[in-house]
Amino acid sequence: MTTILIVRHGFSESNKLKTFTGHIDAPLSDVGVEQARLTCNYIAENYAVDKVYSSDLSRAVNTLKPLADALGLEIIKEKGLREIYGGKWEGVAFDQLPKLFPEDYKVWQENVGIARCTGGESYPESQKRVVETLYKIAQQEEGNTIAVATHGGLIRGLECYLLGIPLEEMSKTSYVQNASISVIEYDGQKFTLKERDIVKHLNGLCTSMGKGI
């Protein structure tokens, strides 16, 4: 059995500014740095991690860096773990999206699972990307326990896949919180989601996506 710890990156500067980040390389905020420390301590105390993987964006890399440093492990960076690509939405404040891109943002609000960021990715595309990447990692790391740092939108799409929820019903699901841990097991054929959105280690230092995003 392969155990995969899916970690959402800590609270970033763009989370604080409430802008659509996507592939922009936004750094962790001071709160995010502390969340990362708490998350890495919790993982080190409760799991024997063999490998550390991450999106190549710094907010994800730096979320698991304390763990990798403590274990003397390299962080293996995978572009396939990046957040959904926002196209023209990247760097735009969320409250400006309905004004600048009314038609596409209306779909995002009404049926996010089939929406496409203007000039960017759709959720079906980003879901396919993260599922393929995770299968590749799991098959390479058979029998290991691995920590994987990625992003809120990608985790939401991944969870729909794991739970058999059609993307057309994604709006019924919620984002996991920053620096949360979700536990997946891989038996060599399929994934099983065992726990989601673990945040008890954050001691109340919790942050999440706002409503309507």
> Could you read off the pLDDT of 94-128 as tens digits, one per residue?
999 999 999 999 999 999 999 999 999 999 999 99
What pLDDT is stored for residue 208 in this prediction? 82
CATH superfamily for 2-202 is: Phosphoglycerate mutase-like (3.40.50.1240)
Distances (CA, A) of 171 to 12, 39, 80, 108, 153: 24, 27, 23, 9, 12
Positions marked active-site: 9, 83
For residue 210, what pLDDT is reported?
58
Residue numbers of the chain with a pLDDT score lower than 50: none
- What is the predicted pLDDT for the residue at 18? 94
Q: Indicate yes or no: pTM above 0.85.
A: yes
Which residue in the block uniquely carries the two structure tokens 């590749």? Answer: 136
Distances (CA, A) of 100 to 14, 33, 51, 80, 92: 19, 32, 42, 28, 9
